[in-house]
Each structure stands twice: as C-alpha cells, then as structure tokens.
Amino acid sequence: MSNEKAVEFRSGSDTCSGILAMPDGAKGDVPLVIMAGGWCYTKEIVMPHYSRFFNDIGCATLRFDYRCFGESTGMPRQHINPWEQIEDYRNALTYAEGLKGIDHKRTGIWGISYSGGHVLVVAGIDARPAFAISTIPVVDGFQTMRRCHGEARFAKLNALINTDRANRFAGAEPAYMPMSPEKESEELTAWPFPHVYAGFKGIQANEAPRHEHRNTISSVEQLLQYVVKPYAARITETPVMMTLAAADNITSADLEVEAFNAIACPTKVFASVKGVDHMSLYTNRDDLAKVGRVQAKWLKDIISQDI
C-alpha cells in the first residue's frame, strides 16, 4: 500500500505531471523508482499496478506523464520525441534529488515498451540512476517497424512520413495517424495490430480516460531513428534488469536479447517470462503480476546491497 500525492516538475519549457507514492509506514529515507510510460499513454495506465509491487517492498515510486501527454503541458499533443522523453526522465531524476524522505543513492528508473528502451539510454548517459528496470523494451525502431508492418506496408509508411515532412516544411501543422486499427484494414497506423486497439480501448474505458489512441506521423519518423544498443554498451556500473515476454511478437525478443548482451555491466539480470505476451503485460493483471513480482524481488535484493 502507499500514500499518493500529485506533483509536477519542469522539463524544458513545459511542466510534467506526476504521482509520488510513498510506501505505508515508511521510516527514514526510502528508495525511489521513477516510472514513465511507453507509446501514447499516461501515468494512469498500467504503472499504478507495477508501482504497487515496488511500494510493497518499501520503495517510493514517481510515475509521470511526458511532455505532450496526459496532464503535462506541451504541444503538439500526442507527439512522441524519444529524446525529449529521455530528457524528461533525467529532469525527473533532478526533481527527485530535492524530495524529502527519499534515499537519493537508491533512486532508479523503470520503463515499459518504448520507455523500456529509454531507461537503458538514460542509464548509458547519466550516472545518477542506482538501477534500471527495462520491461519488454523497444530497442531498434527501424527493425521493429519493418517487422511489424511487412515490406509492402512499410514502404507505404515511409511514403506517408515523407509526405508529412513535406507538408510540415510548407508550413502545415503536424498530421496525425491512429496508434492502431480497430480491425484489419489498409489504413496505416503506428502499430498495425487490432489487439493493441482492443487492449488500450479497454484500459481507456476502465482506468485511463485521458488516453488518446493516436500520435503524430512524425512520431513514427522519430521511432525509425531510435536505436538503444550503442547506449546499452555504455552501461558499465548501473545494475540492470531486463524483463521480456517470451517470444514477444511486437518488440521482438531477439532484438531485445542483442541489446541486453551489449550491456557492459556485470550486474545485469535477464528474465524471459513464459505464458505472457507484449499486450498482456498491459491488460492481464495475472500476467502483469508475474513480471511485477520478478522485478520487485530483484530490486529488493539490489537495494539491500551497498549500491
């Protein structure tokens, strides 16, 4: 259990909205897990459920909305710039340095899907995280999009991106595309899977009304430039746990394994959880709990050591 309060911090020229959850009965300074979401969603989705496992082992959590999402400021809305999101994580770390009741030597970062990659980048370029927990991470945007869309649709996707770039160059506002399709169709979406649509629409109806199932087209252009492996190779001291859904059909387990193998730190742990898939770690509470328990057990061991 935990005690929650709304907080906010500056990131660039915008304000990120967050929820700070302190574990019940906390005495003295407690470790902190900073958490942010993946593609196109807010701090209301999934993170409260994972947060509970960390609160139960005596950790505080800070889950926040990136710029342009949820209750945070920033335009255009639903625009996903991974490098700005990585900067949001780093500004969250700076904000956390001023929090009372937090053990600043035991403050780390957690991410899922797109942010599962972000935390590896942050750990590679910022010495402050005491640990990094990466869940079903996106680690290579180009390969991920090419695999998800297939050759013919991927060519059409690139044509759409080029048209959008030309329109923006001519002065048009950024154009949008759906995050995923309601059913199989020729419509281009970022993630062309109806089960993704069904999963997030269910979450929106039940717990996250601020979720918008769309993104700018240029968000996908940014994704195509995104590669985690070179930054993973820079992680030499920060303990890392990477948790995968066995045979992940969206972010590709083989790409994730390559990124994990690139991490130079000997204090790293790899866990491939069977019987779950990418979307079930958002929508199925039993599947989510399998991963949450594995991560909390590892983190409890890490924070008990002299980091």
In the predicted structure, residue 98 carries a pLDDT above the cut 70: yes
Nearest to 30 by CA among 100, 97, 103, 99: 103
Q: Where residue 207 falls among pLDDT bands split at 50, 70, 90?
A: confident
Instruction: Count CB-CB contacts under 10 A for residue 94.
Output: 13
Task: Give the whole-angstrom CA distance, residue 282 versus residue 209.
Answer: 15
pLDDT in tens, 31-52: 999 999 998 777 888 889 999 9
CA angle (241, 195, 112) in 5-degree steps: 20
One-letter identity of residue 179: M
Task: Give the whole-angstrom CA distance, residue 131 versus residue 108.
Answer: 5
What is the pLDDT, as a whole number, of residue 119? 98
Task: Give the whole-angstrom CA distance, residue 153 versus residue 254.
Answer: 22
- Among the residue ranges 83-87, 99-103, 184-188, 293-297, the one predicted with the least confidence is 184-188
Task: Work out the average pLDDT over 241-259.
Answer: 90
Instruction: Count CB-CB contacts under 10 A for residue 138.
Output: 28
Q: How long is the chain?
A: 307
